[in-house]
Amino acid sequence: MNKKLNTSIDDCLKNEDVIRVANKAASSFSSSLSRDEMQTCILSALWKAKSKYIEGSKCKFTSYVHRGVVFECLTQRKFNLAKTNQLNFNVPDKKDDLERIDMLDEIQQCDDPELIYDRFYNNMTIKEIAESRGVCGETIRIRLKKNLKKLRHSMVN
């Protein structure tokens, strides 16, 4: 049976692989976030990964942390842009990033954002997701349909 990760945040911070992956993920935002903001994103992602990661899943803990750091950094960057009112400007080379940030923000509003991420970002099949979560494929299909319906509704309104 799958169970939650049984380590402390201190253990995660002492693990060289975890820190290397987290720093690598955050470093891609070095031009738009300060060092303190990146560290805050790393700590937040580690905290969330530690509390949500399930041992025995097909996804490695380091991959889970990487994805979390990217989400946290994108959220922080969106907050910074909104704070400085730069979201109203049309900057061509940043357009795709802003759309990605908005999409990730919308996905986070879903009941199960990890499901959407696994299905469409990691290109996992419904069967693969079901196996990694220890449920049947029909359960994943229903959850996916429910989350996509909510996502479509939030993007239209």
pLDDT of 141:
92
Quick one: pLDDT at residue 136?
92
Per domain, the residue ranges of the chain are 8-101, 109-157
pLDDT at res. 36: 92
Question: Per-residue pLDDT for 122 more than 60?
Answer: yes
Q: What is the pLDDT of residues 60-87, one digit of tens each?
A: 888 888 888 988 888 888 877 766 654 4
* In contact, 82 and 48? CB cutoff 8 Å: no
Q: What is the pLDDT of residues 125-149, one digit of tens each?
A: 999 999 988 899 899 999 999 988 8
pLDDT of 94 above 50: no
pLDDT of residue 92: 37
Q: What are phi and psi of 107, to 5 degrees?
A: -60, -35
Q: What is the pLDDT of residue 100?
A: 64
Q: What tens digit of pLDDT does each residue of 27-71 get?
A: 988 888 899 999 999 988 888 887 777 777 777 888 888 888 988
